Structure 1
Amino acid sequence: MKTYLVGGAVRDELLGLPVKDRDWVVTGATPDEMLEQGFKQVGADFPVFLHPDTREEYALARTERKQGRGYHGFTVYSAPDVTLEEDLKRRDLTINAMAKSTDGELVDPFGGREDIHTRSLRHVSEAFAEDPLRILRTARFAARLQPLGFTVAKPTMRLMQEMIKAGEVEHLVPERVWQEILRALHENEPGTFFDVLRDCGALATIIPELDRGHTYSAALEAVRCVHCNSGSTNARFAALLSPLAPNEARKRAAQLKAPNDCQDLARLTTSLLPQILAMPGHQAEALLEVLDEADVWRRASRFKELLQALNCALPDAEREKLGWLEEANQAATAVQAKELMARGYSGKELGQAIRNERLRRISEL
């Protein structure tokens, strides 16, 4: 029975990056032996255990064999006779297929250390083609490591293109696709994720509406802008879909199974963009109409996210209008219903009085 540190912890240590999570592989052991040592089993599909003290994950060495299409089409074999190299061979990229023994020896059967030196994202074996999710993972690693100079190796890019032609990506479940997009939107260079997907042909299947010249460049510019301004997940996703027509954005967000808040902000951003672009000047009616549609009266935090997305989706010359909106919002939200009720307004008259007072205060700006 031997224990090895594997995957991202080894990779990040060699890159000089902070090690956040540590995963371990155990060879020559059975589930019963792990349980006897106090480990708690948590894996349903294959034996994964939590260390009794550190709570870190320890997985028994395993192999995988392709049985069907898509992400779920695998059978897993785990037994004491599975070697460390066999376990590492099933992994996606060479930089993720290294291990370190308890005495500090690096185990690198597929050249991961050399690929770190050459800044190359290269697949471990042809088994890469058996799991279409690896296309998205490779794109996400490219987005994470792009500032360090990493790019996708040409043979790996060709293999991903072949996988697209074979229709493998069409078998991915939306929930898994969304999880990769969500993580990618918060990587160091999120635009690189979509660049890789476009280069290999996956974007035309995953978000085909973006796979158009000006639309694509506008989307990436908006996403990078929100990222640089530390925008929320909702704002990043809304920026990504901002060049689309409202009905396109609504349909695609739903098909990606994005969370309701993400879908909501994408819908609002794409529907308000044309209104703001068409706004001729500092007109109280037009400003209040936008505030009403954004429902700033009940959704103040969402309005802040909306401004983040709009700020990056609008042309530079139009961003002045967001300042008008912020000023109008401050003036309008200062109107107190209690004050108008004290003056005798109630029912429908109160609603109209609130609107009139909001318009008056916005006009005074």
Structure 2
Amino acid sequence: MADITQQLNTFLVGGAVRDSLLNRAVVDNDYVVVGSSVEAMCQLGFIQVGKDFPVFLHPKSKQEYALARTEKKSGQGYTGFNCNASPNVTLEEDLLRRDLTINAMAMDENGKIVDPYNGQIDLKNRVLRHVSMAFIEDPLRVLRVARFAARYHEYGFTIAPETLALMTQLSESSELLSLSGERVWQEMQRSLADANPEVFFQVLYQCQALKSLWPDLHNLWGIPNPAKWHPEICSGLHTMMVLKQAVLLSTKTTIRFASVCHDLGKSLTEDKTLPSHPGHETAGLPLIEELCARLRVPTAYKTLALKVCQFHLHSHKVFELKASTILKLYNQLDAWRKPEDFYDFLLCCQADFTGRLGFEKREYPQKDFLYHAFEKLVLITAKPFVEQGLKGLEIKAAIAEQRLAVLKQFKLEYIQQNKIV
């Protein structure tokens, strides 16, 4: 039986065309259908899923097919549009409403590229350029372009100056405030999974979007740090360097998010104490709580971000701490119950230490010490003390006492063997 799509005038569109021309793996195939209607699609067996505009799933492949459409701004935000999906809408009209020229190309069933807005030229020149002035009607496009800039940074893409100007215009209006927290987080989370997520935040800072979407992060730019420990000086630049180091250390987006959050408290430092930041660790905690509530950030992200924010200096200064303070740190990090989260914490601290100008290749023995000490301490369990007849709080106290003794000895030996000064 012939495929039902043969009865339709269909074109592969958007990202699949763009990525195939870049020789990049294509994740999703999206199709536009020209000259059809909702009724005709349903009669062929397509399953309608779009509420705001007609999008359908193929009954077998489950791939998306959307009717060619035009949109007209009717309200505020990225959902304030009236959609026209009549059979008279042309492919060129459909492509005109898209965000970037490199996303406004189509391919017919014979592999011929339809490119009315010079997307191939911009693809060749590595330029992210808006298709039309309709760009400023959708505030979500500011985030999308920032995400594309991050995703395609490795290919050498830059944002066209006129497009960046429109992004700035959108950012300085109230339109960004119409975006839901979940939608902002979705774009941010997707960027955190890419190879250069720092570009996403840098672009948002450059076009003034970060000031609306995450003001505490925006405010870090220009805030100085002590030159001895931060040759890059600027707290915003440091945060981006930490994120780059986190990318090198882990693919986990929880770790990358926590790395961005770790110094938010510095945005509240009083001028008279600069470039020092006393108490910035605890000052950052409510800022993380507020952000996570506003963007509906999942608990796993928030939990790690709070731990890293509050205790990263403990890790850096671990060789100066008393064994009892280090043992307390393990307890505060809930390391005994959640060892994987503890390891993630250590990676974040390493990213913080190496995310500084000239520090990128420096050793971070603190992570090694805390990791191997934990391996020894976690072996001390309740079983032998239960066998001795101890009960309740006596067992807890005995475990703590033995762990403290082992930790003191291990710390002494580690410092001597590794010549820690």
What does residue 246 of structure 2 align with?
226
Structure 2 distance, partners of 1:318, 1:282, is 19
Q: Distance in 1 between matches of 2:58 and 2:45?
A: 7
Aligned equivalents of 1:113, 1:298: Cα separation in 2: 53
Tell me if structure 2 keeps the 8 A contact 1:120–1:151.
yes
* Cα distance in structure 2, aligned partners of 1:278 and 1:302: 20
Quick check: 1:217 aligned with 2:217? no
- Alpha-carbon offset, residue 282 of structure 1: 6.2
Which residue in the other structure is 1:355 paired with?
A: 400
Offset of 1:201 from its aligned partner?
Answer: 0.8
1:36 Cα deviation after fit: 2.1
Offset from partner CA, 1:156-179 (integer Å, 9 cap, x none): 001111112222212211111000
Q: Which amino acid aligns with 1:128?
A: F
Question: Structure 1 residue 175 and structure 2 residue 147: aligned?
Answer: no
Match of 1:321 among 366, 370, 374: 366
Match of 2:11, SS state, is strand
2:169 to 147, 153, 162: 162
Report Cα offsets for 1:174-196 as digits up to 9, x if no partner. 11100010011111211111111
Match of 1:193 in 2: 200
**Alpha-carbon distance in 2 for matches of 1:208, 1:215:** 14
Q: CA deviation at 1:14?
A: 1.1
Q: Describe how 1:124-135 pairs up with structure 2 within 5 A.
A: 124-135=131-142
Percent identical pairs in the alignment equals 41
- Structure 1 stretches of 5 or more lacking a match? none
Q: Is contact 1:6–1:25 with CA below 8 Å preserved after alignment?
A: yes
Q: For 1:80-133, what per-residue CA distance to the aligned partner results, in whole angstroms no more than 9, with x for missing partners?
A: 111111111111000000001112221111110010011100001111101111
Aligned AA (2:368): G
Task: Spell out the pairing of 1:288-303 with structure 2 (5 A cutoff).
Answer: 288-303=327-342
Hey, what does 1:116 align to over in structure 2?
A: 123
Determine the structure 1 residue equivalent to 2:212: 205
Q: Separation in 1 of the partners of 2:173 and 2:367?
A: 46
Point out the more displaced range, 270-279 or 83-92: 270-279
How large is the RMSD of aligned CA atoms in angstroms?
1.5
Distance in structure 2 (CA, Å) of the matches to 1:24 and 1:90? 15
Tell me the secondary structure at the aligned position of residue 110 of structure 1.
coil
| Amino acid in structure 1 at the alignment position of 2:148 | F
Q: Supply the AA of the counterpart residue of 1:184.
A: S
1:76 to 2:96 alignment: no
Q: For 1:249 and 1:114, how far apart are their aligned partners in 2?
A: 42
- Aligned counterparts, 1:1-365, within 5 A: 1-211=8-218, 212-213=221-222, 214-245=234-265, 246-247=284-285, 248-281=287-320, 283-314=322-353, 319-365=364-410
- Once the two structures are overlaid, the 10-residue window that deviates more, 43-52 or 173-182, is 43-52
- For residues 171-226 of structure 1, the C-alpha deviation after alignment (integer angstroms, 9 at most, x for no partner) is 21111100010011111211111111111111111121222232211211111111
Q: Distance in 1 between matches of 2:156 and 2:148?
A: 12
Instruction: Give the aligned partner of residue 281 of structure 2.
Output: none
Distance 2:259 2:54 in 1: 41
SS in 2 for 1:216: helix
| Amino acid across the alignment from 2:328 | E
Code of the residue aligned with 1:154 in structure 2: it is: P
Kept in 2, the 8 Å contact 1:184–1:190? The answer is: yes
State the AA in 2 paired with 1:231.
Answer: T
SS in 2 for 1:353: helix
Q: Please give the alpha-carbon distance, in whole angstroms, between the structure 2 residues aligned to 1:231 and 1:342.
A: 43
Q: Please say if residues 288 and 328 of structure 1, whose CA atoms lie closer than 8 Å, have aligned partners that are also in contact.
A: no
Q: Secondary structure at the match of 1:227?
A: helix
What is the rounded CA distance, in whole Å, between the counterparts of 2:195 and 2:132 in structure 1? 27
Q: Where does structure 1 differ by over 6 angstroms across 4 or more consecutive aligned residues?
A: none
| TM-score of the pair, normalised by structure 1 | 0.96
**Contact 1:47 1:78 (C-alpha < 8 Å) held by counterparts:** yes
Structure 1 Cα separation of the partners of residues 337 and 146 of structure 2:
38
Instruction: Give the superposition deviation at 1:318.
Output: 8.3
